[in-house]
């Protein structure tokens, strides 16, 4: 194989690598991932009401694992979805398409019928701002969203 051909192959390989969805992976890692029960350091209880959460600001540390116990004390179905602004926007669109059919529980979110209590264990990623929100149509716009400030890991 001559030098020119090697260079051509190398640049093709590089182009292929550039097409891999690396930004999506990085994005997903920044706001965290499902946590393990054995790593839970703290429990935070949240109540969903019509149409808001009882808490609107939470403070956690990067890498901290929290057990969220969410109770729906409203008359309507509500969600508790953890994600950065982009994740929340995507989920809002998905829910609009489904016209309020309700989503199955996902790693980063749960759906609660009136009276239901569910647990979600989440390990936060990098420092920054994350949101918890409900995307039953109209609820996010009505303010059913809270901020989670992820601070430096000082442990
Ligand atoms: Cu809601």
What's residue 22's pLDDT? Answer: 47
Number of domains present in the structure of the chain: 1
What's residue 24's pLDDT? Answer: 46
Q: What six digits make up the tokens of 70? A: 């969410």
Point out the residues of the chain with pLDDT beneath 70: 1-3, 7, 10-29, 100-102, 155
What's residue 25's pLDDT? Answer: 46
Quote the ligand 1 centre to 17 CA distance (angstroms): 41
Quote the ligand 1 centre to 31 CA distance (angstroms): 21
Number of H helices, E strands in the chain: 3, 10
What's residue 1's pLDDT? Answer: 60
CB 111 within 8 A of CB 91: no
Cis before 136 (ω within 30): no
CATH code assigned at 43:
2.60.40.420
pTM: 0.80
Nearest to residue 80, comparing CAs of 54, 48, 50? 48
What's residue 53's pLDDT? Answer: 98
The β-bridge relationship of strands 128-133 and 78-83 is antiparallel
Instruction: For residue 68, give Cα distances in angstroms to 3, 44, 106, 109.
Output: 58, 5, 14, 11
- Identify the domain containing residue 138 by its residue range: 3-151
CB 114 within 8 A of CB 150: no
Quote the ligand 1 centre to 35 CA distance (angstroms): 24
Quote the ligand 1 centre to 77 CA distance (angstroms): 6
What's residue 72's pLDDT? Answer: 98
What's residue 63's pLDDT? Answer: 95
Nearest to residue 85, comparing CAs of 96, 93, 77? 93
Q: What six digits make up the tokens of 12? A: 């093709």
Helix (H, G, I), strand (E, B) or coil at 28: helix
What's residue 23's pLDDT? Answer: 47
What's residue 13's pLDDT? Answer: 63
């Amino acid at each position: 194989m001559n030098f020119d051909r090697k260079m051509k192959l190398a640049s093709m390989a590089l182009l292929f690598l550039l097409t891999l969805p690396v930004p999506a992976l990085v994005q997903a890692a920044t706001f965290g991932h499902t946590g393990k029960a054995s790593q839970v350091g703290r429990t935070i209880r949240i109540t969903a009401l019509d149409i808001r959460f009882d808490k609107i600001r939470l403070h956690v540390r990067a890498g901290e694992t929290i057990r969220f116990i969410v109770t729906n004390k409203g008359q309507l179905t509500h969600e508790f979805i953890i994600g950065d602004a982009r994740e929340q926007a995507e989920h809002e669109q998905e829910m609009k398409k489904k016209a309020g059919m309700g989503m199955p529980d996902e790693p980063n979110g749960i759906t609660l019928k009136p009276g239901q209590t569910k647990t979600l264990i989440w390990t936060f990623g990098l420092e920054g701002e994350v949101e918890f929100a409900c995307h039953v149509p109209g609820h996010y716009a009505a303010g059913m969203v809270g901020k989670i400030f992820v601070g430096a890991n000082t442990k």
